[in-house]
């Protein structure tokens, strides 16, 4: 009975906070737009009995999903989101791996302090941190003032409201999600393996690429998934730091819900986005399972 209760708790959590909301969104995606409250039809009328239930199911269709394939705005938004999320993940890895490696190589008494510095941004509101980057990257911001003061440039650079600002915001925001898994993998690295590699003729650089990087592969994979999955559906960063030409599916989803008030199309966009995200989520879970089996 205790095992049943323990197993039932996470499944009830997933049922209440994932499956039921997903079914609601899926139902809305199969509906049609209507000038009503709620702004879609059909709605289930239990007072009409079996006729109401029959009318409810017969009124559902896949026209919204077909519409997404005919309008190039949506598939371009998906492709643009995939591109931005992928490049942001690569850049976050390039920045985060040296940080995690430096933390793992630091003395034991310094590691808690370095860990604190990595997670310190989480103590501040995410929205405030993004707004701060607006002040830094604007034409009158701190970055341009510094570049003008040092003589690197003669006129302010246009960084805000570009894709470059979006990449900067994503890398900064999700950097801890990349650093922490890699640091956890590097911290457990046996230094004797590096010494053995050097005794066998490897240079320090060769030992790093042949020993350190492969043994930290689990942390790299976990960090990449933790960055790529939320970056794909990001809305706040492209809305505040990106310009009108920055096309991401999160912005399109928000505009369909609140500007166009087209809930069925917005729900169809959300369903397809979830189906796209299922692939890296499944791959991440398989990687975690293989890691646990290897440690066991």
pLDDT digits 0-9 by tens, 14-73: 888 888 888 899 999 999 888 878 888 888 777 777 777 787 788 888 999 998 888 888
pTM given for the model? 0.86
Distance of alpha carbon 156 from alpha carbon 198, whole angstroms: 49
| pLDDT, mean of residues 109-113 | 90
| pLDDT, mean of residues 119-138 | 90
Q: Does residue 251 carry a pLDDT above 80?
A: yes
Distance of alpha carbon 66 from alpha carbon 270, whole angstroms: 14
H and E: helices and strands count for the chain: 16, 2
Q: Which CATH architecture has domain 68-295?
A: Orthogonal Bundle (1.10)
* pLDDT, tens digit, 9 for 90 and up, residues 145-163: 998 998 888 888 888 989 9
**How high does pLDDT run on average in the chain?**
88
> Helix, strand, or coil here: 140?
coil
Task: Please report which confidence band the pLDDT of residue 296 belongs to, taking 50, 70 and 90 as the band edges.
Answer: low
Collect contacts of 272-278 with beta carbons under 8 A, ≥24 apart.
272/65, 272/68, 272/78, 273/78, 273/232, 273/233, 273/249, 274/22, 276/78, 276/82, 276/232, 277/229, 277/232, 277/233
Q: Calculate what percentage of the chain has a pLDDT beyond 90.
A: 34
pLDDT, residue 43, reads 84
Say if CB 197 and CB 211 are below 8 A apart. yes
If you count them, how many residues does the chain have? Answer: 296
pLDDT, residue 295, reads 66
pLDDT, residue 152, reads 85
* pLDDT, tens digit, 9 for 90 and up, residues 80-90: 999 999 999 99
pLDDT, residue 231, reads 93
């Amino acid at each position: 009975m205790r095992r049943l209760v323990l197993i039932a708790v996470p499944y009830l959590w997933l049922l209440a906070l994932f499956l039921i909301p997903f079914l609601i969104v899926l139902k809305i995606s199969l509906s049609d737009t209507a000038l009503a409250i709620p702004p879609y039809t059909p709605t289930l009328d239990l007072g009409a009995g079996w006729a109401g239930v029959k009318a409810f199911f017969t009124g559902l269709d896949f026209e919204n999903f077909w519409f997404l394939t005919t309008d190039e705005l949506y598939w371009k938004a998906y492709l643009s989101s995939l591109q931005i999320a992928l490049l942001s993940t690569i850049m976050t890895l390039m920045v985060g791996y040296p940080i995690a490696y430096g933390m793992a190589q630091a003395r034991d008494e310094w590691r808690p302090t370095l860990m604190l510095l990595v997670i310190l941004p989480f103590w501040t509101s995410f929205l405030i941190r993004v707004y701060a980057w607006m002040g830094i990257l604007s034409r009158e911001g701190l970055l341009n003032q510094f570049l003008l003061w040092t003589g690197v440039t003669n006129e302010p650079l246009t960084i805000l409201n570009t894709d470059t600002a979006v990449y900067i915001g994503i890398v900064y925001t999700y950097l801890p999600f990349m650093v922490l898994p890699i640091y956890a993998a590097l911290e457990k690295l046996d230094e004797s393996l590096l010494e053995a590699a050097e005794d066998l003729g490897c240079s320090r650089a060769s030992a790093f690429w042949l020993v350190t990087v492969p043994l930290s592969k689990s942390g790299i994979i976990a960090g990449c998934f933790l960055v790529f999955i939320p970056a794909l559906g990001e809305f706040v960063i492209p809305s505040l730091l990106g310009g009108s030409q920055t096309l991401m599916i999160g912005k399109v989803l928000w505009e369909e819900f609140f500007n166009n008030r087209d809930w069925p199309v917005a729900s169809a966009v959300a369903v397809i986005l979830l189906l796209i995200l299922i692939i890296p989520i499944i791959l991440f879970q398989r990687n975690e399972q293989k890691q646990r089996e290897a440690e066991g």
